[in-house]
Amino acid sequence: MRKIFAFSFLLPLLCSCGADNGQKTDGVKTTFQSSREWRPTIDNRADAVMVYGVGGNPSDRSRRRMSFEERVRSWQDKGYVTHFMTGIAWGEYQDYFTGEWDGSWHLDEGQVTAKGDTIWHGHLVPYLVPTENYLEYIKERHVKRVIDAGIDAIFMEEPEFWARGGYSESFKREWKRYYGFDWRPQHESPENTYLSNKLKYHLYYNALNEVFTFAKEYGRSKGMDVKCYVPTHSLVNYSQWQIVSPEASLASLPCVDGYIAQVWTGTSREPNYYEGVYAERVFETAYLEYGSMESMTAPTGRKMFFLTDPIEDRAKDWDDYKRNYQATFTAQLLYPGIADYEIMPWPERIYEGLYRVSADSDERANIPKPYATQMQVMVNSLNKMPVSRCKVSGSEGVTVLMANSLMFQRFPLHDGYDDPQLSNFYGQALPFLKRGVPVKTAHVENLGYRETLADTKVLLMSYSNMKPLDPDAHEHLARWVKKGGVLVFSGRDDDPFQGVQEWWNTGGNSFAAPSDHLMGLMGIAASSPSGEYRYGKGLVRILRNDPKEYVLAEGGAEEFVSTVCEMYRKAAGGKELQFKNSFYLERGPYDIVSVMGESTGSEPYTVRGTLIDLFDPQLPVYGSKDVMPGEQGYFLDVDRVPGEKPQVLASASREYDELVTRDRYSYVAKSPVNTINVSRVLLPSAPVSVKVDGMEVLDASAWDAGSMTYLLSFSNSPEGVHVEFRW
């Protein structure tokens, strides 16, 4: 018998590295977004719902909508905390575009390409240049209304300006206002591109600052403490997709309370290069995306929700969705300091949409019942997911430096210099991630916070794909190296953006490249060749290669990897950088595993314990399970369950009104209609009675004595199914 039950006040059995429940003071741990009113088909039982748009979602035109206030009430009546989400760069704002709001048409405020084409998000929904007038409209017509409706949390999503935009008359006016001289076409020079993207970055930084500051002030005038969040793609994705956004800079604004990391299959399946092979690497990309979001806010203490999506925007088949959902879901769980989640966007799309039944078929169907069950087991586990002090397996302390200016150099190309699929970033990260090193990222914008590099032993950086926006960043880096940090700098410093007019070559500075300023602070001559240099207690290793060279050709990373291994030994007191093909994390009772292909070997990772397989909708129990290369695993180890009481360990529903007596355990299970519940329930002994809505359903074969669990299945209901066990 694995567990001994005693109904007394016992200390919980937590993992050795510690955990807590991750619950935040506002009581919201899980959330989702929907443009619809409550319906039984989409009642997924998260803590909160972000009701989308005063006018709904531009993509949702299938039916007449309720008013915003009616939609809010429909969710509140079912016990949900209600928040508000809308787009800041696009939305259902036809009353603004067509002149209903102020008597003037504003379709000329869309983002426009060099060919004169407006970049559209949908019918009469352009991606916008956030003008002063548009921001007034958002504040007056949308923010006021939702606060008046009692909403005290506002999510303004996706502050996006396409790099290929920047040719509209409204953008030209903003250019003149910001720079003080006439607009210059970005395609004509690297400098114009840099200036154009820097303005795009500023416009949405200013837009969110304006709107959120207003929201907080208006909320205070009504006695409310309004929280403001930014749901945004990662810096990795925006840079790869050639979109400009404020990203990390927002984390220091007093009016920004947190973020949602919008990472899902659609972003993480964007192909990249490794060992000369161009391919999708969904787990690895997702891991780096979530990491860039975590590191963006970790030093500032802002709240972070991680998002996953059981499907994606592009039309694929259900097996494709399931496989990649498991990869992204696993990647998010490998960040043990994050325990708040957007469990899904658009449940109406997930539960009610029709998608291909297989890759080679045109037949379309609703979500398969087994996948719906598995998904609900997964998202319900997030309601219990603890923050943990446990660490992901592998050598800690390798960090890649990022900056918002990664987004500035992506489009258009100049002087033949290309960075295919963001290879100058992936070239530093993938050679170690693929060898089982839990690579972290750090943001130039956060270097002023001591915590940013506190756990870094070796910092990898390059200016081939980004530039420092502030010389203070170099002061922080030099100080870190002087105190004992180890810096590996890769770069030829010959890309066409090295010479744009910026702080390193103006105002009394005359450096040919920004790295020359950094090296000079550390006593290293400008344009010094490859080699090792000492500064204070630290070391600088220069490699005169652009990092893209490490991944665009087979074997291209060999020298880079061996160099970093050497520098790691020096930084870590002789410890070797550990290579392997897997990542493992123990997080409370949960085991999270990913085994990579294209890695150090083809061996599986074996997990041992009393394991409930949470990726299997039948919730089988194993004594050990092998996770193969290219796959992920998610398990609950019954032996590590905290507490000594009957409880639902895993379920495709959420439990309410739990009641435990000496010989009985009961609860009410709620989940969307038209789905199947499978639950594994921990009990002190084999039950003598199991009732579902008063009907006896005891099945002796459903009892697993090794795990002391009972496997139960029934049809879900959002109104609640009453379950009772007796022993």
The candidate with the shortest Cα–Cα distance to 641, out of 589, 705, 681, is 589
Cis amide leading into 345 (omega within 30): no
Predicted local confidence at residue 27, as pLDDT: 85
User: What angle (nearest 5°) sits at the alpha carbon of residue 95, between those of residues 90 and 99?
Assistant: 115
User: What angle (nearest 5°) sits at the alpha carbon of residue 482, between those of residues 476 and 484?
Assistant: 110
Contact status, residue 582 vs residue 618, Cβ threshold 8 Å: no
pLDDT digits (tens, 9 = 90+) for 263-312: 999 999 999 999 999 999 999 999 999 999 999 988 888 999 999 999 99
Count of Cβ atoms closer than 10 Å to residue 354 Cβ: 11
Q: Phi-psi region for residue 313, left (φ > 0), alpha (ψ -120 to 50) or beta?
A: alpha
Predicted local confidence at residue 643, as pLDDT: 76
How would residue 59 be classed by pLDDT, with cut points 50, 70 and 90? low
Residue 15 has pLDDT above 50, yes or no: no
- Close Cβ partners of 704 (under 8 Å, ≥ 6 residues apart): 621, 710, 711
Ranges of CATH 3.40.50.880 domains, the chain = 398-571
Predicted local confidence at residue 300, as pLDDT: 87
Lowest mean pLDDT among 158-172, 248-262, 320-334: 248-262
How would residue 60 be classed by pLDDT, with cut points 50, 70 and 90? low
How would residue 23 be classed by pLDDT, with cut points 50, 70 and 90? very low
Predicted local confidence at residue 5, as pLDDT: 38
Please give the residue that has the higher pLDDT: either 64 or 540. Answer: 540
The token pair that represents 360 in the structure block: 């080679």
Mean of pLDDT over the chain? 94
The token pair that represents 714 in the structure block: 């029934």
Query: What percentage of the chain reaches a pLDDT higher than 90?
Result: 92
Count of Cβ atoms closer than 10 Å to residue 368 Cβ: 15
Tell me the mean pLDDT in the region 620-637: 98
pTM: 0.96
CATH 3.40.50.880 fits 398-571, yes or no: yes
Tell me the mean pLDDT in the region 433-460: 97
Write out the H or E segment, with its range, that includes residue 232: strand 227-232
Residue 22 has pLDDT above 50, yes or no: no
Residue 63 has pLDDT above 70, yes or no: no
Lowest mean pLDDT among 1-10, 145-154, 500-509: 1-10
Predicted local confidence at residue 18, as pLDDT: 57
Residue 98 has pLDDT above 80, yes or no: yes
What SS3 class is residue 464? Answer: coil
- Close Cβ partners of 482 (under 8 Å, ≥ 6 residues apart): 522, 535, 536, 537, 538
pLDDT digits (tens, 9 = 90+) for 502-522: 999 999 999 999 999 999 999
Q: What are phi and psi of 150, to 5 degrees?
A: 95, 5
Predicted local confidence at residue 64, as pLDDT: 55
Predicted local confidence at residue 428, as pLDDT: 98
The candidate with the shortest Cα–Cα distance to 203, out of 246, 157, 150, 148, is 246
- Close Cβ partners of 681 (under 8 Å, ≥ 6 residues apart): 646, 647, 648, 649, 651, 665, 709, 710, 712, 725
- CA–CA dist 613, 617 (Å, integer): 8
Contact status, residue 71 vs residue 51, Cβ threshold 8 Å: yes
Ranges of CATH 3.20.20.80 domains, the chain = 28-335+337-382
Tell me the mean pLDDT in the region 531-545: 98
User: What angle (nearest 5°) sits at the alpha carbon of residue 580, between those of residues 574 and 585?
Assistant: 95
pLDDT digits (tens, 9 = 90+) for 558-578: 999 999 999 999 999 999 999
Residue 345 has pLDDT above 70, yes or no: yes
Tell me the mean pLDDT in the region 126-135: 97
Residue 4 has pLDDT above 50, yes or no: no
Q: What are phi and psi of 77, to 5 degrees?
A: -65, -20
Tell me the mean pLDDT in the region 378-382: 98
Please name the residue ranges forming H helices in 281-360: 282-297, 318-333, 347-352
Predicted local confidence at residue 278, as pLDDT: 98
Predicted local confidence at residue 6, as pLDDT: 35
Q: Classify the C-alpha dihedral 637-638-644-650 as positive or negative.
A: positive
Domain 28-335+337-382 architecture: Alpha-Beta Barrel (3.20)
pLDDT digits (tens, 9 = 90+) for 641-654: 987 799 999 999 99
DSSP 138-165: IIIIIIHHHHHTT--EEEEE---EETT-
pLDDT digits (tens, 9 = 90+) for 196-218: 999 999 999 999 999 999 999 99
Residue 56 has pLDDT above 90, yes or no: no
Predicted local confidence at residue 251, as pLDDT: 82
Please name the residue ranges forming H helices in 334-439: 347-352, 369-382, 423-433
Predicted local confidence at residue 248, as pLDDT: 83
Please give the residue that has the higher pLDDT: either 359 or 1. Answer: 359
> Side chain identity at 111, as an amino acid letter?
Q
The candidate with the shortest Cα–Cα distance to 725, out of 680, 699, 677, 688, is 688
Predicted local confidence at residue 9, as pLDDT: 25
Q: What are phi and psi of 161, to 5 degrees?
A: -125, 115
Lowest mean pLDDT among 90-104, 211-225, 364-378, 689-703: 90-104
